Amino acid sequence: MLTAVLAIFVLAALAPTVHRMTPSFSHWLLALVPAAITVWFATFLGPVGAGEVVTQSIPWIPTLGVELAFRLDGLSLLFALLITGIGTFIVIYSGGYLHGHEHQGRFYLFIIAFMGAMLGLVLADDIITLFVFWELTSITSFLLIGFNHEDASSRRSAVQALLVTAFGGLALLAGLVLLGIAAGSFTLSGIEASGIDIRAHALYLPILVLILLGAFTKSAQVPFHFWLPNAMDAPTPVSAYLHSATMVKAGVYLLARMNPTLGATEVWTITLAAFGTVTALWGGLMALRSTDLKKVLAYTTLMALGTLVMLVGLGTEYAMKAYAVFLLAHSLYKGALFMGAGSVDHGTGTRDVRELSGLWQKMKITGVFIALAALSMAGLPPFFGFIGKEFMYEGMLQAGTLGLLVVAGMVIANATMLGAAGLVFWKPFTGQPSEAAEHAHEGGPSLWLGPAVLASLGLALGLGAIPHEGLGEGLLGAVATSLKGEAAKVDLYLWHGLTPALGISVVTIALGLGMFLGLGGVKRGLDGLARASRVNVDAAWDHVLAGLNAVAVAVTRATQTGKLRDYMVWTFTGITLMLGGTLLLRDGILLPREMPETSYLGIFMAALMVVGTIGTILAFSRLAAIVSLSVVGLSIAMFFLVYGAPDVGITQLMVETLTVIIIVLVLAKLPAFRKGEDGTGGERARNGAIAVAMGAVTTAILLAVIAVPYELDLTRYFAEQSYVGGYGRNVVNVILVDFRAFDTLGEVTVVAVAGLGVLALLKARMGRTRTGSQAGGDQP
One of 177, 513, 569, 590 touching other proteins (CB under 8 A): 569
How large is the C-alpha radius of gyration of the chain?
A: 36
Q: Shortest distance, CB of residue 340 to other proteins, whole angstroms?
A: 31
Position 771 contacts other proteins (CB under 8 A): yes
**Which residue stretches of 430-563 are H helix?**
435-438, 445-463, 473-484, 500-517, 519-533, 537-559
Cβ nearer to other proteins, comparing 465 with 658? 658
Q: Shortest distance, CB of residue 719 to other proteins, whole angstroms?
A: 4
Residue 187: strand, helix, or coil: strand
Q: Shortest distance, CB of residue 565 to other proteins, whole angstroms?
A: 5
DSSP per residue over 488-525, as a string? ------S---S-HHHHHHHHHHHHHHHHHHTHHHHHHH
Burial of 607 (0-12, 13-18, 19+ CB in 10 A): exposed
Distance CA(171)–CA(182), nearest Å, equals 16
Q: Shortest distance, CB of residue 608 to other proteins, whole angstroms?
A: 10
Identify which of 407, 227, 216 has the alpha carbon closest to the alpha carbon of residue 305.
216
Cβ nearer to other proteins, comparing 206 with 602? 602
Cβ nearer to other proteins, comparing 3 with 560? 560
Residue 94: strand, helix, or coil: helix
One of 361, 549, 559, 621 touching other proteins (CB under 8 A): 549
Q: Shortest distance, CB of residue 613 to other proteins, whole angstroms?
A: 4
| H or E, element range at 669 | none
One of 553, 555, 577, 589 touching other proteins (CB under 8 A): 553
Q: Shortest distance, CB of residue 653 to other proteins, whole angstroms?
A: 9
Q: Looking at 104-112, 254-262, 445-453, 717-725, which segment touches other proteins (CB under 8 A)?
A: 717-725
The angle that helices 400-421 and 364-378 make with each other, rounded to 10 degrees, is: 160
Position 555 contacts other proteins (CB under 8 A): no
Site string for other proteins, 16-55 (x = CB under 8 A): ----------------------------------------
One of 63, 432, 533, 773 touching other proteins (CB under 8 A): 773
Cβ nearer to other proteins, comparing 50 with 667? 667
What is the footprint of other proteins within residues 685-704 (CB under 8 A)? 687-688, 690-692, 694-696, 698-699, 702-703
Q: Shortest distance, CB of residue 230 to other proteins, whole angstroms?
A: 10
Q: Shortest distance, CB of residue 234 to other proteins, whole angstroms?
A: 16
**Which residue stretches of 43-126 are H helix?**
45-49, 74-97, 104-123
Position 766 contacts other proteins (CB under 8 A): no
What is the footprint of other proteins within residues 621-680 (CB under 8 A)? 622, 625, 629, 632-633, 636, 639-640, 642-648, 650-652, 654-655, 657-659, 661-663, 665-666, 669-671, 673, 677-679
What is the footprint of other proteins within residues 372-431 (CB under 8 A)? none
One of 21, 542, 582, 623 touching other proteins (CB under 8 A): 542
Q: Shortest distance, CB of residue 295 to other proteins, whole angstroms?
A: 19
Distance CA(107)–CA(88), nearest Å, equals 14
Q: Shortest distance, CB of residue 577 to other proteins, whole angstroms?
A: 14
Q: Looking at 195-203, 400-408, 525-533, 557-565, which segment touches other proteins (CB under 8 A)?
A: 557-565
The angle that helices 204-218 and 248-262 make with each other, rounded to 10 degrees, is: 160
Position 120 contacts other proteins (CB under 8 A): no
> Residue 357 CB: number of other CB atoms within 10 A?
19
What is the footprint of other proteins within residues 720-749 (CB under 8 A)? 720, 722-738, 740-745, 747-749
Distance CA(336)–CA(161), nearest Å, equals 24
Query: Residue 352: phi, psi to the nearest 5?
Result: -80, 115
Cβ nearer to other proteins, comparing 404 with 745? 745
Position 530 contacts other proteins (CB under 8 A): no
Residue 671: strand, helix, or coil: coil
Cβ nearer to other proteins, comparing 24 with 561? 561
One of 572, 583, 624, 627 touching other proteins (CB under 8 A): 572
One of 564, 585, 586, 769 touching other proteins (CB under 8 A): 564
One of 266, 486, 587, 778 touching other proteins (CB under 8 A): 778
> How many chain residues touch other proteins (CB under 8 A)?
142
Distance CA(203)–CA(207), nearest Å, equals 6
Q: Shortest distance, CB of residue 534 to other proteins, whole angstroms?
A: 19
Query: Residue 563: phi, psi to the nearest 5?
Result: -105, 125
What is the footprint of other proteins within residues 588-627 (CB under 8 A)? 592, 595-599, 602-603, 606, 609-610, 613-614, 616-617, 622, 625
Q: Any bridge partners for residue 61, and if so which?
A: 66
Cα angle 202-205-210, degrees, rounded to a multiple of 5? 125
329 contacts 388 by C-beta, under 8 angstroms: yes
Distance CA(221)–CA(282), nearest Å, equals 10
CA distances from 563 to 70, 276, 559, 560, 569 (A): 53, 53, 10, 8, 10
Cβ nearer to other proteins, comparing 181 with 546? 546
Position 579 contacts other proteins (CB under 8 A): no
Identify which of 120, 52, 56, 186 has the alpha carbon closest to the alpha carbon of residue 481.
52
309 contacts 275 by C-beta, under 8 angstroms: yes
Cβ nearer to other proteins, comparing 498 with 762? 762
DSSP 126: B
Q: Shortest distance, CB of residue 137 to other proteins, whole angstroms?
A: 20
Cβ nearer to other proteins, comparing 441 with 729? 729
Cβ nearer to other proteins, comparing 500 with 646? 646
Cβ nearer to other proteins, comparing 521 with 772? 772
643, amino acid identity = Y
Cα distance between the two ends of the chain = 63
> Residue 106 CB: number of other CB atoms within 10 A?
15
Q: Shortest distance, CB of residue 780 to other proteins, whole angstroms?
A: 5
Position 495 contacts other proteins (CB under 8 A): no
Cβ nearer to other proteins, comparing 3 with 749? 749
Q: Shortest distance, CB of residue 214 to other proteins, whole angstroms?
A: 23
| Dihedral-angle region of residue 646 (phi above 0 means left; psi in -120 to 50 means alpha; beta otherwise) | alpha
Instruction: Give the torsion through C-alpha atoms of 606, 611, 612, 616, to 10 deg.
Output: 140
Q: Shortest distance, CB of residue 50 to other proteins, whole angstroms?
A: 51
Identify which of 124, 94, 378 has the alpha carbon closest to the alpha carbon of residue 238.
94
| H or E, element range at 148 | none
Position 466 contacts other proteins (CB under 8 A): no
Q: Shortest distance, CB of residue 583 to other proteins, whole angstroms?
A: 13
| H or E, element range at 423 | none
What is the footprint of other proteins within residues 139-178 (CB under 8 A)? 152, 155-156, 159-160
DSSP per residue over 619-633, as a string? -SSHHHHHHHHHHHH
